[in-house]
Every structure is written in structure tokens, then in C-alpha cells.
Amino acid sequence: MRNPRGPLVWGLIAALALGALAFAGDKKHKNQYQNIEVVRFDIKEGVQFPADYLHTMTEELVSQLQQTGKFGQVLREGETPDKADAPTIRLTGTVIEFHPGSRAKRYLVGFGSGKTKIVAHVKFVDKATGEVLYEDDVDGKVWIGAVGGESIGATRGLAKEVAKVGKQQFF
């Protein structure tokens, strides 16, 4: 009689092996970089993203990355690090989607109505070599808050998400 557990065991071993390989690949960049430089994001053509939101988002990115406590220095575009040869990540991105939402709808209607959403395609790049270390789409949303929540708060949500991704990928 054929042992039903045989294929199951082999499948489990194969899954574990694949997982280990993936984990090893991710681990390649772990604890390799000391600093991160934040560059102002671009805006995809056709996306109406206000200038004040863009600048607010940049400042929020710097703030949230500093709050992770993982990077030695969080640099702004144009700043030079204390140690010139310290491995540095360059964070760039493009805002690809923006829904301004409506505070009044969030407050008066609720249930996700009037949600503000910002989606950006972010790239973590090795500043020295230009190699793209990681890239993904991240978003920030406001769907609830005090008196509906401020729409510009979506920039902080996106920044927190970026900081979380950065921490997971590189530490």
C-alpha cells in the first residue's frame, strides 16, 4: 500500500528549501547600509498631486525614517554624510496615484466614503553603485480621523509604510 505521507513530506521539505532560499536572498542586504538619503519624489504625468502635499510627504519620510532608529543618518538631498564612504541607500519614488478624498464625506457619511489615498512606487537604491535593492508600491490613506481626519495626513501614512518597508528589508 502506497504511503500517503511520502509526497506530503517531500512537499514540505521542498517548501522549506524554497523559503530558506528566499530568506537568504532577502538577507543579502540586511545590516549592510548605515545611512539613507531621501530624494523628493517625482509625480507621474497626469497625476494632480499638490506641491504642498509633495513637500509634506518628503519631510514626513525623513521624520519617519529617523524614528525607526535604524539608520545612522537620514540625509536630505544634497547633504553629505559624516563618513563619506559609509554605505548609503538612496530612496526615490514616483507618486503614481492620488485621490484627494473629502473630509466632509469622511465625517458625515463614513464607512470609507471620501477616503484620501496616495500611492507611490518607491525604490531603495545603492547610492554608490546604482543597484536597485528593492522597489514596491506603497500607499497612505486617510479614511477616518478626528472630525473626518485631515487629508494631508495620508502623507504621514505613506511615510510610515515606507519606513516599515525599509526597516524590514535592510535590518
Partner 1 sequence: MKATRALWASLLFLTSCWAQAPPPAPTPSPTPTPSAPQPAPAPERKNQPAATPAKESPAAPAQTDAEDMTVSGVFHIVGVPGLKRNARGDLLLSRSDLTFRKGNKQLLVLPFRRIQKVELLSGERNYEKATAAAAAVSPVGAFLILAKHKVDTVVVEYVNERNGKMAMVLQLPEHEGARCQQWLERYGVKAGGENPQPATPEKK
Binding site for partner 1 (CB under 8 A): 40, 43, 48, 50-52, 55-56, 58-60, 75-80, 99-105, 107-108, 114, 146-148, 150-152
CA distance linking residue 57 with residue 52, whole number of Å:
8
Which of residues 58 and 88 has its CB atom nearest to partner 1 in the complex?
58
First to last CA, the chain: 50
Closer to partner 1 by Cβ: residue 19 or 50: 50
Nearest distance from residue 92's CB to partner 1, in Å?
A: 14
State the Cα–Cα distance between residues 29 and 125, nearest whole angstrom. 11
* Pick 77 or 137: Cβ nearer partner 1: 77
Q: How far is the CB of 54 from partner 1 (least distance, A)?
A: 9
Give the residues across from 99 on adjacent strands.
117
Are the beta carbons of 109 and 143 closer than 8 angstroms? no
Contacts of 152 (CB under 8 A, 6+ apart): 52, 53, 56
Phi, psi of 140 (to 5 degrees): -135, 135
Give min distance, CB of 168 to partner 1, in A: 26
- Please say which residue, 43 or 119, places its beta carbon nearer to partner 1: 43
Q: How far is the CB of 65 from partner 1 (least distance, A)?
A: 14
